[in-house]
């Protein structure tokens, strides 16, 4: 959607999809055929990257339009296998217009040992992502257990670590989902640097509360959407 509330034309969405797909690959957040991007379209349709593609090579003519069951309406290639992760996100979050899944190495490394990526070590991160980034326990990608666990946390959070797997971010558009992925990886990198020289310290609790209030005032997070605070 544009700022006036108009629906963004499909060609612009396709251009954005190719741009961010390339960026995800250029940043080294995916290897081989990893990672996938989708955008919500009107009438329960979805624009999606195809399966079995290096994200650096995707062009506009490779993109797919899918129906609400994930069946291909337009495009030459097959949909990707992790599509259910995206569908769960759209169902859980009517405000979400785009979903991004990738394996950024530092944050994914954290997910492989069960260490959370902390937001409360940097003030800006609390405003952007809230008081924490939840980790959904490891389960086979796309399994019922994983989808159920994701559906539970997504109403509250815009970025989620998938145990021993990677990261999923949502946004009102692809740019926002991309920037959230960038921040998760950046935070993981800062935390890794901090751990290498000492013990990262959390910000004082009263400051975290103030930052969460700023988050709400910026129209971000579950409170701004009329939900309460996220469960601890």
54 with 80: CB under 8 angstroms? no
State the minimum distance, in angstroms, from the CB of residue 103 to Zn ion.
6
Name the minimum Å distance from CB 191 to Zn ion: 22
Q: Which of 104, 130, 166, 171 contacts Zn ion by CB under 5 A?
A: 166
With respect to Zn ion, which residue has the nearer C-beta, 146 or 191? 146
For Zn ion, give the closer residue by CB, 113 or 197: 113
Angle made by CA atoms 192, 152, 107, in degrees to the nearest 5: 15
Burial degree of 191 (CB within 10 A; 0-12, 13-18, 19+): buried
**CA-closest candidate to residue 168, choices 156, 179, 158:** 158
The alpha-helical segments, DSSP class H, found in the chain are 10-26, 83-92, 105-113, 123-129, 144-153, 174-197, 205-217, 221-224
How far is the CA of 26 from the CAs of 20, 56, 121, 169, in angstroms? Answer: 10, 7, 27, 18
Distance in Å, CB of 165 to Zn ion, minimum: 6
Least distance to Zn ion, CB of residue 205, Å: 34
From 8-16, 60-68, 164-172, 215-223, give the range in contact with Zn ion by CB under 5 A: 164-172
Smallest separation, CB 225 to Zn ion (Å): 27
Could you give the maximum distance between any two Cα atoms of the chain, in Å?
Answer: 54
Q: How many residues bind Zn ion (CB under 5 A)?
A: 1
Near Zn ion in 87-106, by CB under 5 A: none
Residue 231 has φ and ψ, to the nearest 5°, of: -65, 150
| Pick 80 or 211: Cβ nearer Zn ion | 80
* Closer Cβ to Zn ion, 50 or 166, answer by number: 166
Q: Which is nearer to Zn ion, 93 or 165 (CB)?
A: 165
Among 42-50, 105-113, 161-169, 206-214, which window interacts with Zn ion (CB under 5 A)?
161-169
Contacts of 59 (CB under 8 A, 6+ apart): 18
Residues that bind Zn ion (CB under 5 A): 166
């Amino acid at each position: 959607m544009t700022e006036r509330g108009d629906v963004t034309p499909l060609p612009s969405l396709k251009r954005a999809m190719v741009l961010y797909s390339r960026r995800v690959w250029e940043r080294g957040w995916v290897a081989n055929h990893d990672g996938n991007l989708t955008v919500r379209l009107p009438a329960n349709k979805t624009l999606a990257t195809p399966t079995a593609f290096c994200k650096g090579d995707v062009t506009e003519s490779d993109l797919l339009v899918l129906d609400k069951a994930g069946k291909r309406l337009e495009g030459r290639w097959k949909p990707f296998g992790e599509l259910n992760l995206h569908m769960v996100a759209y169902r859980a979050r009517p405000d979400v217009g785009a979903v991004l899944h990738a394996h950024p190495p530092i944050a994914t490394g954290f997910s492989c040992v069960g260490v959370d990526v902390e937001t409360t070590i940097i003030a800006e991160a609390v405003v952007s992502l809230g008081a924490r980034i939840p980790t959904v326990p490891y389960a086979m990608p796309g399994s019922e257990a994983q989808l159920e666990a994701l559906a539970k946390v997504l109403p509250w959070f815009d970025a989620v670590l998938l145990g021993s797997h990677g990261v999923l971010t949502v946004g009102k558009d692809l740019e926002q989902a991309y920037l959230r992925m960038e921040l998760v990886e950046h935070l993981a990198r800062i935390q890794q640097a901090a751990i290498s020289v000492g013990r990262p310290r959390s910000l004082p609790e009263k400051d975290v509360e103030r930052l969460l209030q700023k988050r709400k005032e910026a129209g971000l997070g579950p409170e701004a959407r009329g939900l309460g605070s996220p469960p601890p």
